[in-house]
Amino acid sequence: MKKSIKILWSLFLIGLAAVILLFVLADVGALGTMPSISELENPTASLASQVYAEDGTLMGKYYLEDRVNVGFKDISKHVINALVATEDERFYEHNGVDPRSLGRALSSFGSSGGASTITMQTAKNLFTQNWSTSNIVLRMLQKIKESIIAIKLERNFTKDEIITLYLNTVTFGDNVFGIRNAAKTFYQKEPDRLSVEEAAMLVGMLKGGVYNMRRFPKQALERRNVVISQMVRNGVLSSAEADGLKKKPNPINYKKMDETSGIAPYFRMVLGEDMKAWCKEHKKSNGDNYNLYKDGLKIYTTINPIMQQYAEEALAKHYSTMQKVLSSQSDIKSGSVWKGHENILEAAMKQSDRWKNAARDPNPPSDAEIRKTFFEKIPMRVFAWNNNRYIDTIMTPYDSIKYHRQILQAGFMAMDPLRGEIKAWVGGVDFKTFKYDHVNINTKRQVGSTMKPLLYSLAIEDNGFTPNTMVEDVQQSFGSYGQVPATTASCSGQTMPMFKALALSKNCATAYIMKQLGPQGNDGAKRFVNFLKECNIQTKIEPFPSIALGSAEISLYEMMQAYSMFPGRGFNVKPMYITRIEDKNGNVLETFIPQRKEVISEVTSYSVISMMQQVMKYGTGRRMWSYDVTGDIAGKTGTTNDNSDAWFMGYTPQLLGGVWTGCDDRFIRFSSTAMGQGSSVALPIWAYFYEKASKDKSLSIDTKSTFAKPDVMTNELIFDNWNGSTDSINEGEDGGGVNGNSGDYGGDEQVPPANTGEENRYESAPSPNNGGTAPSGAPLPAKPPVNKPSGNPPATLPQSQQPKAVYKKPGTTR
């Protein structure tokens, strides 16, 4: 053998040995971490956790990568055909590495196409952190690793399983991972329903971001047609079929689910915090804690999508007018409401993204220079009550902060009073702009007169009071704890039955009842605080006698639990919003059941219900009957000092609902009590909600059902002290004759609500009318007149510029 040939053979054998050694070193991990046998047999990718409503509707997701797995049978054959024809024609013939593609890639140095097979790309997606580099040496090492993993995958999985793994892990742009999410995002379809042209379009997007059908429709259409041609070449389509398909447009129906879209976004924010706490307490079989954003949990909730929609519609319907009323006030229009509160605006500026971004500049301007930019008018998009829920305008960032803080906020919750299942949760007026939730257990506001039914129930339960027990509407002295109420302005000096005191929301009579619970100092307040704890109100309340009038700050969430004992026949039930949690494979990890305990007797609960029905018949809640509602309704309004907070808590035998309304800054409020009290601001939201919910047959709300009278009560409760007169009744909380009457309300102009996307699916609704049926003997108030105040809807900062609402972490109650 010639010496030259010997040298060539030697070089060949040395090269072959080097390649083999390189593969061996790669296999054992010397060139970087390689997956274990266990990992190869059980490949995992980050999976989004999904939240489901009561009826199985997908409400939203928590994810780092928006990915949800599907099985091979759930993927259209057109997707499989398009993928194989375009990405790996010999997929069903090779064993993970395609020699022909590899040879072509090596001979042309990659200019004629890469050597990656579908199996190699799957290996890259699953096990190599999708590493890419322009360094040719490193890239060759990476390809060696991908090839080894691909061969191992081929040994452990069938071809159908491998192509399913690939389609579940590949990205389709827009941070959308997997074929299911791609089909749902771009076409609002399940992947097994995709047509040939839709499948070709999605497969074409895998070529790169330039073929994203949302951003580059022309290029995407051209790429789709290339994929269709590839399908003809591979025999899965005829030329005639391809010609017809190429002429079709692309009917994109893009809707990406993110934190601001989907059902009940405020609720999902609270749920997410609760689930993160749950994950810290629960471990997987491998000993690791569950991860909400990676482990594909399935969370089933009690939220009813229809009730949720009606709740959002009710809020929008009433607030689109009430905001105009507030904005038309002279102190709001002139800006004098901010006198003495400039420090709040200053703090808001420094908390804004605009300020923080400027301060992070490599050469940051001075504080004075940054501050100056807040007084220069610029184009911006701000929140407004119109069809789009925003307006494009020109204003200064400083003014936009003011407008943001002058927007009325609200919290609404509806739940089953027997099982505690929360059916609707609205934490604010618009989640896209205002992230702070006003329902959860950590958001607390003064409850006003909605506290009174709880005090009255204690008086009945422990002190032997009845609805007809006579009480004195006189200011009470509590020794060193002072006079309650602070002034005698609302005290009539009369003696009246307790039910009438509740119906008229008499503060002085309520103080009298507190005094009867403990005549010395704050003894009565101490008893009441202990009772509130029995009602499962977790807020720490100091035992001052003024708590009888609602001075304590309590969350809507807690008030709902406390009130549940009335329609619950004495049993208090913890609000619950999760029924079960499953892992990604459908294994149940935990289930939740109602937690009920008896707090008062059934006789007491029925007595309080009867009194609260009088509130609705004759008292501060009688406005309810100007709406188109029927049936047994009991409730209580609440208004705090200077109209800073307005409440309405109402219930039927089947449904309990609570509403809080107000501005985040308490000094921004209605100057007129006629407009700012609970019956004017909060009650209509409840009424609009119940008006729709009770008429929807799918919700099975029986308006003819009545509150069940306990068997031990042989006689009906008699309410005979009105003497047919309503002269002393007005809609004010204190009944002092200074708060106006039903004709003074206004604020019922109907502004057509708008569709703001999946978050709030508003629909236009008819105006309230006198079609509602009041209980027998109830005076039906006249329909409130239309009030058309002047002034434009207020605006607020866009999300990128507004001061961030700090979300307080909710409790662990589920």
Which two three-digit tokens encode residue 18? 């080097």
**Mind giving me the DSSP string for 576-599?**
B-EEEEE-TTS-EEEE----EEE-
Look at the block and give the residue holding tokens 């006698």: 545
Q: How far apart are CA 385 and CA 477, in angstroms?
A: 47
Tell me, what's the pLDDT at 180? 93
Which two three-digit tokens encode residue 124? 């890259």
Q: Which residues pair with 657 in a beta bridge?
A: 414, 650
Q: Is 110 left (phi over 0), alpha (psi -120 to 50) or beta?
A: left
Which two three-digit tokens encode residue 113? 């196409």
N-term to C-term CA, the chain:
84
Contact 664, 293 (CB under 8 A): no
Q: Where are the beta strands (DSSP E) in 332-439?
A: 378-382, 391-395, 409-415, 422-426
Question: What is the CB neighbour count within 10 angstroms for residue 4?
Answer: 8
Q: How far apart are CA 412 and CA 303, in angstroms?
A: 13
Task: Show the 3-state SS of 623-689.
Answer: HHHHCCCCCCCEEEEEECHHHCCEEEEEECCCCEEEEEEECCCCCCCCCCHHHHCHHHHCHHHHHHH
Which candidate, 400, 257, 309, 254, places its Cα nearest to that of 753?
309
Alpha-carbon distances, residue 674 vs 427, 459, 634, 670, 671 (angstroms): 25, 30, 22, 9, 9
Q: What is the DSSP letter of 257?
A: -
Q: How far apart are CA 567 and CA 562, in angstroms?
A: 11
Q: Which residues pair with 426 in a beta bridge?
A: 412
Secondary structure element (H or E) that encloses residue 198, with its range: helix 196-205
Contact 412, 659 (CB under 8 A): yes
Sheet containing 656-662, strands listed edge to edge, beginning at the edge strand earlier in sequence: 422-426, 409-415, 656-662, 646-651, 634-639
The amino acid at 46: S
Which two three-digit tokens encode residue 616? 């609705």
Which candidate, 172, 220, 225, places its Cα nearest to that of 197?
225
Spatial CB neighbours of 208, under 8 Å, sequence gap ≥ 6:
none
Spatial CB neighbours of 535, under 8 Å, sequence gap ≥ 6:
454, 561, 562, 565, 572, 599
Contact 654, 701 (CB under 8 A): yes
Largest Cα–Cα distance in the chain?
129
Secondary structure element (H or E) that encloses residue 67, with its range: strand 66-67
Q: How far apart are CA 463 and CA 460, in angstroms?
A: 6
Contact 417, 655 (CB under 8 A): yes
CATH of 268-346+385-439+582-598+620-814, one of 3.30.450.330, 3.40.50.1000, 3.40.50.920, 2.170.150.20: 3.30.450.330
Which two three-digit tokens encode residue 595? 């937690």
Look at the block and give the residue holding tokens 């809080």: 660
Query: Torsions phi, psi of 505, nearest 5?
Result: 55, 50
- Rounding to the nearest 10 degrees, give the CA dihedral for residues 254, 257, 258, 260: 90
Spatial CB neighbours of 386, under 8 Å, sequence gap ≥ 6:
754, 793
Contact 743, 786 (CB under 8 A): no
Question: What is the CB neighbour count within 10 angstroms for residue 18?
Answer: 10
Which two three-digit tokens encode residue 745? 């309300």
Secondary structure element (H or E) that encloses residue 58, with its range: strand 58-62
Question: What is the CB neighbour count within 10 angstroms for residue 170?
Answer: 24
The amino acid at 549: L
- Rounding to the nearest 10 degrees, give the CA dihedral for residues 333, 336, 337, 338: 120
Q: What are the per-10-residue average pLDDT scores of the chain (814 residues)?
A: 70 66 57 60 77 95 86 95 93 82 54 71 73 56 75 88 91 89 92 95 92 93 96 94 93 80 92 96 93 94 98 96 94 94 94 90 91 94 85 94 95 97 97 93 96 98 94 95 91 94 95 94 96 97 95 97 98 97 95 96 96 95 95 96 95 98 96 93 98 96 94 74 49 36 30 32 31 40 32 32 32 32
Tell me, what's the pLDDT at 761? 31
Secondary structure element (H or E) that encloses residue 177, with its range: strand 176-177
Q: Global pTM? A: 0.80
Say if residue 364 is preceded by a cis peptide, omega within 30 of 0.
no
Q: How far apart are CA 8 and CA 3, in angstroms?
A: 9
Helices (H) and strands (E) in the chain, counts: 27, 22
Look at the block and give the residue holding tokens 């609200």: 410
Handedness of CA 28, 32, 38, 39 (dihedral sign): negative
Q: How far apart are CA 129 and CA 145, in angstroms?
A: 12
Q: Coil, strand or helix: which one is 301? A: strand
Q: Coil, strand or helix: which one is 262? A: coil
Q: What is the DSSP letter of 396?
A: -
Domain-by-domain residue ranges, the chain?
1-31, 268-346+385-439+582-598+620-814
Task: Show the 3-state SS of 518-573.
Answer: CCCCCHHHHHHHHHHHHCCCCCCCCCCHHHHHCCCEEEHHHHHHHHCCCCCCCEEE
Tell me, what's the pLDDT at 389? 82
Classify strands 58-62 and 49-52 as parallel, antiparallel or unpaired.
antiparallel
What is the radius of gyration, based on Cα positions, of the chain? 33
Tell me, what's the pLDDT at 148? 80
Q: What is the DSSP letter of 366?
A: P
Question: What is the CB neighbour count within 10 angstroms for residue 491?
Answer: 21
Tell me, what's the pLDDT at 255? 86
Q: Which residues pair with 392 in a beta bridge?
A: 381
Which two three-digit tokens encode residue 40? 């190869």
Handedness of CA 529, 530, 534, 538 (dihedral sign): positive
| 582-603 CB burial, b ≥16 within 10 A, e <16 | bbbeeeeeeebeeebeebbbbb
Q: Is 746 left (phi over 0), alpha (psi -120 to 50) or beta?
A: left
Look at the block and give the residue holding tokens 């009845």: 466
Which candidate, 255, 253, 257, 295, places its Cα nearest to that of 278?
295
- Burial level of 706, CB count in 10 A (0-12/13-18/19+)? exposed
